[in-house]
């Protein structure tokens, strides 16, 4: 697997992105993988590799490059959690959306691609995927346990391309009132599918994470795979 550099659209420099490619030679769609608060770490790289194994190109940009380039930490220690929360609090989400749109534009032109591209994000990345559904021309967007989505669903009526929303029932970052607001806010839009996974916590699909739940992750990932195949070819 390889890394490429993408130019920021505001002229402030460039940022690296991890790229994983499928073994086959046929043209395929591209998935922009949006990191959690732990950076482009082993879990994100393994997620990209899994997407490549499904036959898509995966590209995961370093969204924290404006703060600290190359963040690569885990969810295994209190010190790493504190570092991750500090990075999240310093992160400019509007700039992040612009960096993701730049990544999406590059994704559409990658060798071996077919011009179609979508996003898949986790945690903070799940929120960013929802924002990409609102602000970009991505062909499909997938949000895993996105945070703060209840503050975005007021705009959900403008979304016209497929958006999947995976919600953990026991997510401490998305309490029941927020979950109810999300479900109510997306209910009237046929382009959006939302599911609640019972008995699991935030990050139930984080590969190697402390809250991993194999059953819920497999069900959610199956729904994701079907949506990616339908939208990206």
User: What pLDDT sits at residue 219?
Assistant: 98
Q: How many domains does the chain have?
A: 1
**Distance between CA 118 and CA 141 in Å, rounded?**
6
Q: Which of 62, 139, 171, 201 is catalytic?
A: 171
Q: Which of 75, 99, 201, 202 is catalytic?
A: 202
Does 42 have pLDDT greater than 80?
yes
User: What pLDDT sits at residue 27?
Assistant: 87
Angle (nearest 5°) at CA 104 between 101 and 107: 155
CATH number for the domain spanning 154: value is 3.40.50.1820
Does 25 have pLDDT greater than 80?
no
Let me know if 171 is a catalytic residue: yes
Cβ atoms of residues 60 and 40 within 8 Å? yes
Domain interval for residue 17: 2-232
For 136-175, the pLDDT digits (tens) are: 999 999 999 999 999 999 999 999 999 999 999 999 999 9
50-66 as b/e: b if 16+ CB within 10 A = bbbeebbbbbbbbbbbb
**Distance between CA 148 and CA 153 in Å, rounded?**
10
Cβ atoms of residues 117 and 232 within 8 Å? yes
- pLDDT classification of 91: cutoffs 50, 70, 90: very high
Let me know if 202 is a catalytic residue: yes
Identify the bridge partners of residue 120 per DSSP, sorted by sequence position: 33, 142
Mean pLDDT, residues 85-90: 97
Average pLDDT, the chain: 97
Cβ atoms of residues 161 and 139 within 8 Å? yes
Who has greater pLDDT, 12 or 26?
Answer: 12
Mean pLDDT, residues 71-85: 96
Query: For the chain, what is the radius of gyration of the CA atoms?
Result: 16
């Amino acid at each position: 697997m390889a890394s490429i550099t993408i130019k920021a659209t505001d002229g402030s420099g460039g940022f690296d992105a991890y790229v994983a490619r499928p073994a086959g030679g046929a043209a395929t769609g591209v998935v922009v993988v949006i990191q959690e608060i732990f950076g482009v770490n082993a879990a994100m790289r393994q997620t990209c590799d899994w997407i490549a194994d499904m036959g898509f190109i995966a590209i995961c940009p370093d969204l924290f490059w404006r703060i600290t380039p190359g963040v690569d930490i885990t969810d295994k220690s209190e010190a790493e959690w504190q570092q991750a929360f500090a990075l999240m609090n310093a992160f400019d989400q509007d700039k992040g959306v612009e960096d993701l749109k730049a990544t999406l534009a590059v994704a559409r032109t990658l060798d071996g691609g077919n011009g179609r591209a979508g996003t898949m994000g986790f945690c903070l990345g799940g929120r960013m995927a929802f924002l990409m559904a609102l602000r970009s021309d991505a062909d499909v967007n997938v949000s895993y346990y996105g945070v703060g989505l209840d503050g975005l669903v007021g705009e959900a009526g403008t979304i016209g391309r497929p958006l999947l929303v995976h919600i953990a029932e026991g997510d401490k970052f998305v309490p029941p009132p927020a979950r109810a607001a999300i479900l109510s806010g997306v209910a009237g839009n046929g382009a959006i599918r939302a599911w609640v996974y019972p008995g699991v916590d935030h990050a139930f699909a984080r590969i190697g994470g402390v809250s991993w739940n194999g059953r819920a992750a497999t069900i959610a990932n199956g729904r994701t795979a079907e949506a990616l195949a339908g939208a990206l070819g």
